[in-house]
Structure formats: structure tokens, C-alpha cells
Amino acid sequence: MRKFFLFIGFNLFACLFSNAQEHLLKKQNSPNEDVIVNQSEPLIDSLTGKWYLDSVFEGGEREPSIPKVASDKDWLILNQDFSFSYFHAGEEYRGNWTSEKDVLTLRDIDGKVIFRYRVYFKGNSLIVGSRIRHKSRGPGSYYVFSK
């Protein structure tokens, strides 16, 4: 009888442990709860238009992101024909853009990658950055745009 209860207890513990492990892995791999990752076809419709740069957050591997005020003149236009114009720090860039799942890639006219970042929507804002939040490394650098 004792072996029976030990067997039941061990299996119950193993089941609970594996469920907890799965839950932690899902939670680790999912983005922050208030950030919606849009990976469907309507992403193209959501991305197109003129976006104004609100703020830039620069952070390193272990330090928190530091907000920097963006100029009122910084903007990004993503067109339906996959062309773009990007004006930042007094320079204008033109080329083509692509979106695969939640990754936005801007290439200049020669095909050189200007930047490739993950894309998130939070409310009416477009957040473009390599990562939004990572508990062990800090959030990294990202840009916040609004229409």
C-alpha cells in the first residue's frame, strides 16, 4: 500500500512539475501582456501611412532603456506599394519595405538593409525595436511612433 501511495505521489508531482515548466516556457516566449503582436495579413494595412516619431529609448544589455525626446520632424511613411520614406536626424532615406510575421525591414534603393526590427502595436502607437522587454538583459533600444 505504501508503494502505491508513493507511486501516485511521484506521478502527481511529475505531472505538476511538467505543467509548471510548460507554463513558464510559454510565459517567457510571449511578449509583454499589454503589447499586441499582429502577425496576420492585416498587418500591412495597419503599418501603412505616415508615422511620427514620438520617442526613442536607448538601452544596453543590462541597463534600463533611457528615453530620448524625438524631433517633431522625424517621421516614417510606409506606402501600400512597399516603398517608404524615413526622415530622422536631418537625413531622409528612401527605398522598399517588407514585413514578415512581426519583423519590419527597410532597405535602401540599392537593397542594403537600413534596419530590421520587430514590430508591436500598443494602443495607437507603433513600437519598433529589437526587443521590448527581457527580464535578464533589459529592454534594449526601440522607437515609438504614432499617426
DSSP-assigned states of every residue in 108-125? ETTS-EEEEEEEEEETTE
Structure confidence at residue 131 (pLDDT): 52
Distance, first Cα to last Cα, the chain: 69
Structure confidence at residue 7 (pLDDT): 60
Cell of 100: 514578415
Positions in the chain short of pLDDT 50: 13-21, 23-41, 132-134
Is residue 67 within 8 Å of 53, Cβ to Cβ?
no
Burial environment of residue 51 by CB neighbours within 10 A (0 to 12, 13 to 18, 19 or more):
buried
Q: Which residue has the cell 502607437?
A: 125
Degrees to nearest 5, angle at CA 141 with 135 and 147? 115
Topology annotation, domain 43-146 = Lipocalin (2.40.128)
Is residue 39 within 8 Å of 96, Cβ to Cβ?
no
- What is the C-alpha to C-alpha distance for residues 28 and 65, in angstroms, rounded to an integer? 20
- What is the C-alpha to C-alpha distance for residues 74 and 124, in angstroms, rounded to an integer? 18
Structure confidence at residue 94 (pLDDT): 92
pTM for the complete prediction?
0.58
- What is the C-alpha to C-alpha distance for residues 14 and 26, in angstroms, rounded to an integer? 18
